[in-house]
Structure 1
Amino acid sequence: MKLNKGKGLLFSLGVASLGLSLLGGINEKVNADSSTPITTIASKNQIPGTKSPSFLYGRGLVTTHTDKSHNGKLYATSEHYVNGTPTFLIFESLNNAKSWKKISEINDTHNFLANNTPWGNRYQPFLYELPEKIGKMPAGTIICAGNSIPNDLSKTSIDLYFSKDHARSWQYLSTVAVGGHADVNTTSNGPVWEPFVSVIDHKLVCYFSDERDKPLHSQKLSHRVSKDGINWGNEVDDVAFKEPAARPGMVTVARMKNGKYIMTYEVVNSGEWRTNYKISADGLNWNASDEGTRLAYGGAPYVVTLHNGDIVANTDGSGDLYINKNNGDVRAWQDIKTNIPLAYSRSLTVLPNDDLLIVSGGPLKAPTDPNSNDLTSTIFSFK
């Protein structure tokens, strides 16, 4: 959820004072300092036209399904705050995140104002590489899902763009969902937010946060499925709390070693801000009335599965990582203490050797905050 759309609750709770309190089942707290030095991907001074807070909501990607000459390349993007029309900047690293280079940007070529000015690709980008052919897109095609929003924040549109040339150029693919004003205070026809894309059962799935079902649900989590990336099926609810004011959001999903799927999401409800998770047999049926199990206090989570089967999750309540070696069993979580700085919505990307690429847009800031975040990366190893 965006601060400018009503996340003032974060300040009343106090991110630093929340701490990280996990439910029973934590076997131990393990200290770990296995991260490489933090590398700056982009800063305000490097990108002309950037304004404070500069960067938020960092996302990373490693290519693993293209030809050998492109395997192992790292990519990163984030929200980028500018004086004009925003775009999603795409950065590439060819040396395991030791340095980064801007290689392209994704302009909004689908949504336009009456004067033919594009809305702008503004919030919550997500990068994904197709592991297999979907529609006319071959394996190795890179997808960017993000939120197109005009300057007055009057509308929201989760749009997909694709690149077949290793993120050098981009084309509009399709729109998954269109919502109202980018503000949590809407009473009806609210916004759509925070897309997360995956291929499940040979289909493209886009999970997202949905505020269009007010007043029944202030926010819920849903998904749509497409066989070709263009035509999308009916919306399916994944998490819908009984309490109308509850706000599950910022969904991420990973396939576990037993073939089932784990979903993490933040919950803002009754003065509490936490991360929940739950498990699905097939990644498409989640029993929306199941509100899940609390993993930790703090929100903006991310979850991945290592090649060895270990599940790793985080939240923005601290720099900790949480590891589970038993397919999400509530009794099997371990708290991995790290020196990685606290940040809002850090992404976790599993590298071929089971290290993690962590991309961060820095601490949570309002769009009017005069201070700037850098977009940064680090590599974390469990070895």
Structure 2
Amino acid sequence: MPVLPALAAAYDILVVTIHHTEQHFDQQQQGTTPRTSAVFPIGPAYLPYMVVTRPPRWFMRMLTRDCNSGYGRIITPVGDDAPADPLISNVTVFQPPANYTIPRTLYARTLQLQDGTLLATWENYGPNNNTFPYYPIYQSTDGGATWSERSRVEDTQNGWGLRYQPFLYELPEAIGDYPAGTVLLSGSSIPDDLSQTQIEIYASRDCGDTWEFVSHVAKGGRAIPNNGETPVWEPFLMVYNHELVVYYSDQRDPKYGQKLVHQTTSDLKTYGPVVDDVAYDTYDWRPGMTTVSHLPNGNYLLTYEFYGAVEANFAVYYRLSPDPLKFNDAVGHVITATDGTQPAGSPYNVWTPVGGDNGTIFVSAGSNSTLFANRDLAAPGSDWIEIDTPEGTSYTRSLLVEQQKNIILICGGGVLNGSDNRKYDHRRYPSTCFFFMV
């Protein structure tokens, strides 16, 4: 491949030949372990170890990191031939104090700013039965090697706190009075007695240093996930056609136990009508947890969990539409891997241009530590390949395609209803993130 020496010269990287890696997509898809050329950015300390026909086993280890809550860690190189100065050693990002309320952390979300800074937030279960909670904003300006608290997003409107399901988003263009680059945080403001739910939007004009209240999006009843209750929750944000689309789960309509909906705004202040995205005629059926990606063929991909699916409760389904405001006209498809595995619960999807002419779709689910990958733009009947990762299962792990596009950051805030979520190395909570190399 004549292009590889040119890449190495231009970008100060080293081309190595790898015989085997457990995480390689093509090998799992084909059921083989072919000899594969790969390009890795590498520091000077590692150069003497790369001039070998078969690279050392430590090089196959994915760089992994705990990035938002719980005890942070980067897995370091291992093996007799590993250099003495590893890329990154153990790092504490956030360790919840012992007096934090179980489950301490959940629902991790991340964002990479245009300047490369990584931000992370999560549901933060503080002491005293989690009275008046807030969303922590942690930052890393060195690729995840070190983390620090950048700010806190606190409820300035209701006196309830910001409790559940945060989501971070950077505006790619100006919306209303908010310029491109404004960081938005949406989440659920809920009082201690869980009697009401309110989806809010806060904004930061200085990359997460300070925050201001923007608007109320939707108001609902008790924060109880039972049919017959009327909460709103699980927001997801995306700009489309010069408007911000706020997707969320809605239990207010008496015709449905729960449905997926959206509202749009051109100024972040006023919102259009509630529009259905996924609504089933059977009352007991509950689609939930919208995430959306834009595919290169013009389609938009929406994944959701589906309580009521014939395959399994909370089976992961998806819909494709050329218009992300008309998902309710599309057909739902279940994700089934080529080995028969059907992921379930709390899905999250992303698309990366890496991996072939169509790029690759990755889907995470709460039932599996693996990822589910598709290189055919999720065409009905196309293959979904289950890909191993060293990250454990977690309630609604988030996925982030980093700017270099061949790295996906997987973050989990821990397991739902966990009563003593500790690891053997005495971490307070198994809230982990790691890089997945495509």
What is residue 166 of structure 2 aligned with on the other side?
A: 125
Q: Shift of residue 264 of structure 1?
A: 0.4
TM-score (norm 2): 0.73
Q: Which of the residues 404, 412, 418 maps onto 1:353?
A: 404
What is residue 252 of structure 1 aligned with on the other side?
A: 291
Confirm or deny that 1:192 pairs with 2:211. no
Letter in 2 for 1:219: Q
Cα distance between partner residues in 2 of 1:264 and 1:29: 27
Cα distance between partner residues in 1 of 2:241 and 2:226: 37
Q: Shift of residue 163 of structure 1?
A: 0.2
Confirm or deny that 1:106 pairs with 2:153. yes
Matches within 5 A, 1:208-247: 208-214=248-254, 216-247=255-286
- C-alpha contact 2:279 2:328 (8 A) present in aligned 1: no
Q: Which of the residues 385, 388, 395 maps onto 1:344?
A: 395
1:29 to 1:197, Cα distance in 2 relative to 1, 3 A: farther
Report the 3-state secondary structure (helix = DSSP H, G, I; strand = E; otherwise coil) of the residue aligned with 1:312.
Answer: strand
1:234 to 1:30, Cα distance in 2 relative to 1, 3 A: farther
TM-score (norm 1): 0.83
Letter in 1 for 2:398: S
Deviations 1:109-157 (A, max 9, x none): 111xxxxxx1110000000000111111111100000000000000000
Q: Which has the higher contact order (CA 8 A, sep 6+)?
A: 1
Q: Shift of residue 169 of structure 1?
A: 0.7
Q: Shift of residue 374 of structure 1?
A: 4.3
Confirm or deny that 1:76 pairs with 2:120. yes
Matches within 5 A, 1:1-383: 35-39=62-66, 41-43=68-70, 46-47=95-96, 50-64=100-114, 71-82=115-126, 83=128, 84-111=131-158, 118-185=159-226, 187=228, 190-214=230-254, 216-269=255-308, 272-287=313-328, 290-295=331-336, 296-308=342-354, 309-330=359-380, 331-354=382-405, 355-365=407-417, 369-371=419-421, 373-382=429-438
- C-alpha contact 1:239 1:248 (8 A) present in aligned 2: yes
Deviations 1:65-85 (A, max 9, x none): xxxxxx111011010112221
- C-alpha contact 1:53 1:370 (8 A) present in aligned 2: yes
1:288 to 1:258, Cα distance in 2 relative to 1, 3 A: closer
Letter in 2 for 1:201: N
- C-alpha contact 1:125 1:145 (8 A) present in aligned 2: yes
Q: Report the identity percentage.
A: 38
- C-alpha contact 2:67 2:411 (8 A) present in aligned 1: no
Between Structure 1 and Structure 2, which shows a larger proportion of strand residues? 1
Quick check: 101-110 or 284-293, which moved more? 284-293
Report the 3-state secondary structure (helix = DSSP H, G, I; strand = E; otherwise coil) of the residue aligned with 1:287.
Answer: helix
Letter in 1 for 2:119: Y
Q: How many residue pairs get matched?
A: 341
Q: Shift of residue 184 of structure 1?
A: 2.4
Larger Rg: 2
Q: Shift of residue 241 of structure 1?
A: 1.3
- C-alpha contact 1:223 1:236 (8 A) present in aligned 2: yes
Report the 3-state secondary structure (helix = DSSP H, G, I; strand = E; otherwise coil) of the residue aligned with 2:137.
Answer: strand
Letter in 1 for 2:216: T
- C-alpha contact 2:227 2:258 (8 A) present in aligned 1: no
1:76 to 1:59, Cα distance in 2 relative to 1, 3 A: same
RMSD (Å) for aligned C-alpha atoms: 2.2
Cα distance between partner residues in 2 of 1:357 and 1:193: 24
